Amino acid sequence: MSNSSLPEAGKPLGHFVSTAEFDPQSTEKLTPAQEKYYFASQRQLIWWKFKKHRLAYYSGLFLLFCYFVIAFAEFIAPYDLSHRHIDDIYAPPQGIHFFEDGKFVGPRVYQRIKTLDMEILKREYSDNMTKSYPIRFLCEGDPYRFWGLIEGNTHLFCVEGKGDLFLLGTDRLGRDMFSRIIYGARISLTIGLIGITVSFVLGITIGGLAGYYGGWVDVVVQRIIEVLQSIPSIPLWMALAAILPVTWSPILIYFGITVILGLLDWTGLARAVRSKLLSLREEDYVLAAQLMGAKPPRIIVRHLIPGFMSHLIASATITIPAMILGETSLSFLGLGLRPPVTSWGVLLNEAQNINVVVLYPWLILPVVPVILVILAFNFMGDGLRDAADPYH
Amino acid sequence: MLKYIFFRFMAMIPTLAIASVLIFTIVELPPGDYFESYVAELQASGETVDPEKIEYLRVEYGFDKPAWQRYFGWVWGMFHGDFGYSFEYERPVSELIGSRIFLTMLLSTVTIIFTWLIAFPIGIYSATHKYSMGDYGFTFIGLLGLAIPNFLLALVMMYFAKVWFGTSIGGLMDPEYINEPMSLAKFGSIMEHMAIPVIVIGTSGTAAMIRRIRANLLDELKKQYVTTARAKGVPPVRAVLKYPFRMSLNFFIADIGNILPAVVSGAEVVAIVLSLETTGPLLISALQSQDMYLAGTFLMFLAVLTVIGVLVSDILLAILDPRIRLQGKAQK
């Protein structure tokens, strides 16, 4: 700028706009690492923080794997859900061996010797160590309809020839437990998702109304929640489950049960939404938005919901296991799902007798995936909750 | 303060009124009534049914009248100390619940104390040793207790108790002590049988408790008064227990509303598996057989206890924490 551009004394200054590009960091240069951090979106910050929480990260991966498996349940399970092997009732789990006479032979199972102890009428199984069958991959077995649509009979693995492949044993009708657990996962893992969707919609709408409008709406909602919470959950489940008509098909019952689980779960979520809305409403940025003339719907959707959505997702993650366990205890009481719909709860229903624990302990195996999935959801929920507040 | 208590007290009335309607609906909802299933059951086992007796009972208990009249009859009765009559046990409801409530309360109290004894030390340890191996380890064990379905844990433990300690399976005492007067031997037997339900019910509650203690205590430990106390040379243990710990107990008092009904009902599913003579299985079987006065009155009893519990905890919180009293609302 030269002096010649200045106006004469006493005259107003001309409006000056620099043509040079504006660089807000001209005074203080950011390192690339800093730049990456400061300019990251909230979603990215959450993701970074979540990844640092090792246990939560691997739990998340495990759950992804589980949902991947249930998407291909028909293909991964070696037998059909209701295929009855009448010669193999209450067969114990079989082991897979890779070596024979010190030589690597690939995965094989021994032939089963099946006898019936006439004195105590107990079926006894032992391995014939001299004969074994190889396990084949991508082979043909029980026919199925993939997702009820595409017909197929290819399975991920099965045994060749006349061999049996009961990795986790069989139940009282000679059905393969491993296949049943995989099919059961499809029901058990989705029941929480549908239930949580129902309770999410109810919780956010009702809690949001109470928190935003306050006044008598708030009072009424608070009372309803108090009433619902004052009645123990199991009787409520039982009563609602008892109304489902007996004539309904098992699939309709399944949806009914999930909706019931969701209908009773929203109270906690609604409370959380309400208190979050009440406190966030007082924040400066909401006032700023109001002063700029934003209408209430825009304030709620654009400014308030993103503020607590992550918290809600985290708390939802912790509620899913409660729903899975809820279904298990409903099925245990004989009020939940009914065969032929198979969930982990239905499978465990067969294991409610102490004789089972003593004689056929492999029937309690469905509890292993239950425990793993619930632990994984809890760890992931913990990680999400920590990550939900990335600046904390 | 008195005004606050008065208004809180008045707010209980509409809550309980709605709760009673809801409970009556729940009990009434399943199609049919007790007499229908009773008659069907008798006929199925080949016994003859005296239609006059059934008809008499129907009229006596108002099953010929519309539901709303029965509802008011039920509520009216409760105000006069008449809690209805159990069809299945053919005894008054109050007597039936009364006979089981002692063992239930004993069991629940022991369970709650067990939970506290485990959860408090672990919660404090986890908060003071955040992200240490011990913190992770205890959290993991606690979560494991939460993740294992209670009824299964009960079954397996029952089996091992029989194999290792020779404890008889099921019940809250050895069979020979049932209907015996209380004696030292009977008490010992009860204590022996109590171990499994206490551990099974306790484990599922401990995890949640540890987490809450840890989270609340962590919030308090961040505050400046703790730093000040440490800077002034207060020993570490005292610096944790004296103020931060007491402050973190607020949530605990807020929880009384949930503890009271739990003491009376006990864990239903576990009690069924272990065939305990507590009130839980009574309630479930009453709901299943549509023994409606038994189920309804018991549920109402639980609802009243919850509401009273919430009231007590709100009042206690208001007394203990002036911040809540001034703001006029409870914080969780």
User: Is A2 or B183 the better-scoring residue by pLDDT?
Assistant: B183
Mind telling me how many Å the CA of A268 is from chain B's nearest CA?
12
Low-confidence ranges of chain B (pLDDT < 70): 31-32, 62, 167-171, 175-176, 178-180, 257-258, 262, 264-266, 321-332
The alpha-carbon gap from B30 to the nearest alpha carbon of chain A, in Å, equals 5
> Is the pLDDT at A71 greater than 80, yes or no?
yes
Its ipTM equals 0.74
Q: Which residue among A232, A333, A367 sits closest to B302, beta carbon to beta carbon?
A: A232
Do residues B193 and B167 lie in contact, with contact meaning Cβ atoms separated by under 8 Å? yes
Quick one: B301 exposed, middle or buried, by C-beta within 10 A (0-12, 13-18, 19+)?
A: buried
Q: Which residues contact A65 (CB under 8 A, 6 or more apart)?
A: none
What's the pTM value of the predicted model, to 2 decimals? Answer: 0.79
Residues near B293 by beta carbon (within 8 Å), at least 6 away in sequence: B61, B74, B83, B84, B85, B86, B87, B93
- A369 contact B CB<8A: no
Question: Mean per-residue pLDDT for A281-310?
Answer: 82
Residue range A1-15: mean pLDDT, rounded:
69
Strand partners, A155: A139
Q: Which residues of A touch B163 (CB under 8 A)?
A: none
Residue of A nearest to B270 (CA): A329
Mean pLDDT of A257-280: 80
Widest pairwise Cα distance in chain A: 122
Average pLDDT over chain A, rounded to whole?
Answer: 80
**In what order do the strands lie in the sheet containing A150-159?**
A97-100, A103-117, A122-146, A150-159
Q: List A residues 256-285 in contact with B (Cβ-Cβ < 8 A).
A: 275
**Record: contact A358-B144, CB cut-off 8 A:** no
| Contact check, Cβ <8 Å, A352/B155 | yes
What is the pLDDT confidence band of residue A63, given thresholds at 50, 70 and 90? Answer: very high
The two most distant CA atoms of chain B are separated, in Å, by 85
Q: What are A318-336's pLDDT values in tens digits?
A: 778 888 887 877 777 777 7
Angle between helix B67-79 and helix B2-28 axes, rounded to 10 deg:
140
| A116 close contact with B: CB closer than 8 A | no
Any A CB within 8 A of B134 CB: no
Which residues in chain B have Cβ-Cβ distances shorter than 8 Å to A236? 26
Residue A318, chain B, CB below 8 Å: the answer is no
In the chain, the amino acid numbered B19 is A
Query: How many A/B residue pairs have CB atoms within 8 Å?
Result: 114
Give the B window 173-212 contacts with A, CB below 8 Å. none
Minimal Cα–Cα distance from B159 to chain A, Å?
7
The mean predicted confidence, pLDDT, of chain B is 78
How do residues A123-173 score in pLDDT, each as one tens digit?
A: 788 877 778 788 888 888 778 887 777 787 888 888 877 777 888 888 888
Query: CB–CB of A232 and B22 under 8 A?
Result: no
